[in-house]
Amino acid sequence: MVAGTRRRTLDPRGDLMARSLRWGLAMAVAAVGSGWAATAAQDQDRTVKDGVYSTEQAVRGRTNYETTCLRCHGADLSGGAGRSLTGDVFVRDWTGLTLDRLFERMQSMPPGASENLAGDAYVDIISYVLERNGYPAGAGELSLASLTSITVEGEDGPGVVPNYALVRVVGCLGGDASQWTLSNATAEERSPEPGPSVGDDLVAAQAKPLSDQNYVLMYVFPSPEAYAGHRVETKGLLIRDESGDGPDSLNVTSILSLAEACTP
């Protein structure tokens, strides 16, 4: 922990259905990786729209998927016991993140039997998932080494954070128990983890300059009252204001105090 930084991890478990749903979504998009700062710093010159896998590789991936993944994620990848790997859910979960995040997540699957698959097999499965999501095949195969430099991109193009995505922002905590808010905050950025940042990610959060964004915070538990007026890192599911008249909201998964004072 960096000196002077206070940590509060908001407990996702509670009796509120909305809270349970929110945490389930957040955990679904969480991916163990090298850290948000490392991903953001890379030169992202390719996306999944650039033909990053081969048709033959996707065929192999389908075979591996049907053997090890179908039981939880369904024959059509729409999910069941496991998260959907196709359509709007896939785009929302992974847009803006690199394929190594998806790879690391997949490596924990299937539960209790992940050691049965080699790394190349997971890469083939990713190729099949990309094919099923309508991303084009190319001449060459997707490789393990290339995953960190290929970004998932939705129809809206690069840099667009989809609604309900897990994000993080840094800003000034204001308001009270009736309505907590963030002011002078940074624009939302994708986060692979719902909990407070650590290591290089924490250093990057502390170094971010404040900006002019405002957010309404939802389902903040436990109370962040001790951090009122602090500069904080907040993570949560982004809920955009569709009317365009008010600020966007964050369905909060964690709040971390970065400094006791918050000066724009």
Indicate which CATH number applies to the domain containing 142. Answer: 1.10.760.10
C-alpha distances in angstroms, 48 versus 54, 91, 131, 132?
12, 11, 10, 12
Same domain, 92 and 166: no
Q: Which of 121, 151, 181 is the last residue of a domain?
A: 151
Provide the pLDDT for residue 112. Answer: 66
Burial zone of 87 (CB within 10 Å; 0-12 exposed, 13-18 middle, 19+ buried): middle
Beta-bridge partner residues of 173: 182
Mean pLDDT, residues 13-42: 40
Provide the pLDDT for residue 115. Answer: 67
Provide the pLDDT for residue 175. Answer: 96
Which residues are CB-neighbours of 153 under 8 A, at least 6 positions away? 47, 48, 49, 95, 96
For residue 110, is the peptide bond before it cis, meaning its omega torsion is within 30 degrees of 0?
A: yes
Same domain, 22 and 55: no
Provide the pLDDT for residue 113. Answer: 63
Tens of pLDDT along 126-147?
Answer: 999 999 999 999 999 999 999 9
231 neighbors 211 (Cβ within 8 angstroms):
no
Same domain, 70 and 140: yes
Tens of pLDDT along 194-227?
Answer: 999 999 999 999 999 999 999 999 999 999 999 9
166 neighbors 239 (Cβ within 8 angstroms):
no
Where does the pLDDT of residue 24 fall: very low under 50, low under 70, confident under 90, or very high at 90 and above? very low
Provide the pLDDT for residue 31. Answer: 37
d(CA 250, CA 179): 12
Q: Which of 151, 180, 198 is the last residue of a domain?
A: 151
Closest CA to 179 of 212, 213, 225, 230: 225
Same domain, 209 and 115: no
Instruction: Report whether pLDDT(56) > 80.
Output: yes
Domain extent, residue 75, equals 45-151
**Hey, CA dihedral for 206, 208, 214, 219, is it positive or negative?**
negative
Least trusted range by pLDDT, from 156-160, 164-168, 180-184, 251-255: 156-160
Higher pLDDT: 201 or 96? It is: 201
Q: Which of 104, 126, 151 is the last residue of a domain?
A: 151
Where does the pLDDT of residue 96 fall: very low under 50, low under 70, confident under 90, or very high at 90 and above? confident
C-alpha distances in angstroms, 135 versus 47, 151, 223?
10, 12, 43
